[in-house]
Structure 1
């Protein structure tokens, strides 16, 4: 299953299962991006609109935010949720190569998106062309998962006849230095990388499995046969202490055009 197909399948649940994760991280990204009133913003891979809504509030009615996503389910739901905001447009689009004229935007945001793309360095180059002089790119990527999260994925995978393939992450996301080098190679003048973290609390194993199944982790959950998922959840419940609070570290990269 492709990335777009996966996110299309989970669009109804994404960032909508009562767990703090995507929304606070998107807020931190937009705060770092510092959108100004009147700015024209592109939110690449807008999902259910966490970063898009924060940016729309910052640019105000005199600005505009365009959200694009490759998953039709995300586009449909986010367009409906923002229909009352005249400064917002949500449409289908490819975050790898957004189809807009050069120098269309003052700011581009991409919240936990770039590492899913087939060619992240090429995407950075495309974003640089879309920015006006003095514009900014702000994107987030993982610095480190709470170790209990990948351990949970590994445990769930033991109940699958054929565990889901692990995605290959471009080495540009490995360190702050590699992030800065990649944006410099794409033509950006100055880059800052800041680390933030978010805590997420799960009351029980059922809530954790539900959350994993609401985003890209759904590939792991869906690889487990339905009749084996109760046993997998029970094993997860026995392997951790509850309630469980995880800490995820995120790099926020802001690059000046």
Structure 2
């Protein structure tokens, strides 16, 4: 199953199980990108619109934000949710190679998206081509998961006859230094990467398993036979103390076409 298929299947429950994660991280990314009133923004891989809505508020009625996503379910739901915002357009599109004329945008954002793409360095070059002079690219990527999160995935996977393989990330996501090297190679003049943390609190194992099943982790949940999912959830329940708060560290990278004047 492709990444687009997975996100299409979870679109109805994505970022909607009562857990703070995607929205605060998207808000932090947009704060770092600092969209200005009147600017034109492309949100690549917009999902259910966390970063898109934050950008729309920043650019105001004189600006415009275009959101694209490869999952039709995300597109239809986010388009419906933003129908009352004239400065927002949501449409199907490929974050790897967005189909827009060169120099169309002042800012391109990609919130926890680039590492899913088949060729992240090529995506950086494609995104740069869409920027106007002085434009910038802002994207987020994981710095470190709370150790209890991969431990929970391993525990759940033990109930699956054929658990999915954990995908390996491109080397550009290894560190702030490799992120800077990648953006420089893509033609950006200046890059700043900052690390932020988000705390996500889960009342019990049922909520944690529901949350895992609401994003890319759903492939783990769906690999467990339905008859064994209660037992798998019970195992998660006994393996942690509740409520449980997971701390996730994320890198926010802003790459600019020009070097700021000091």
For structure 2, list consecutive stretches of 5 or more residues without a partner in the other structure. Answer: 258-262
Q: Deviations over 1:84-141 (max 9, x none)?
A: 0000000000000000000000000000000000000000000110000100100000
Match of 2:177 in 1: 177
How far 1:166 moved relative to its partner? 1.0
The equivalent residue for 2:43 is 43
List gaps (5 residues or longer) in structure 1: none
Q: Give the aligned partner of residue 83 of structure 2.
A: 83
Secondary structure at the counterpart of residue 196 of structure 2: strand
1:118-137 alignment to 2 at 5 Å? 118-137=118-137
SS, match of residue 25 in structure 2: helix
1:15 corresponds to 2:24: no
Q: 1: distance between equivalents of 2:167 and 2:29? A: 24
Distance of 2:74 and 2:212 partners within structure 1 = 17
Q: Secondary structure at the match of 1:62?
A: coil
Aligned counterparts, 1:15-164, within 5 A:
15-164=15-164
- Give yes or no for the alignment of 1:236 onto 2:247: no
Q: How many Å separate the matches in 2 of 1:215 and 1:45?
A: 13
Show the counterpart of 2:198. 198
2: CA distance between counterparts of 1:220 and 1:256? 37
Rounded to whole Å, the distance in 2 between the matches of 1:167 and 1:209 is: 20
Give the Cα separation in 1 of the matches to 2:158 and 2:235.
10
Q: Distance in 1 between matches of 2:20 and 2:114?
A: 21
Secondary structure (helix, strand or coil) at the match of 1:208 reads helix
1:139 is paired with a residue whose SS is strand
Q: Aligned-residue CA RMSD in angstroms?
A: 0.4
Structure 1 CA distance, aligned partners of 2:207 and 2:213? Answer: 10
SS at the partner of 1:47? coil
Shift of 1:188: 0.2
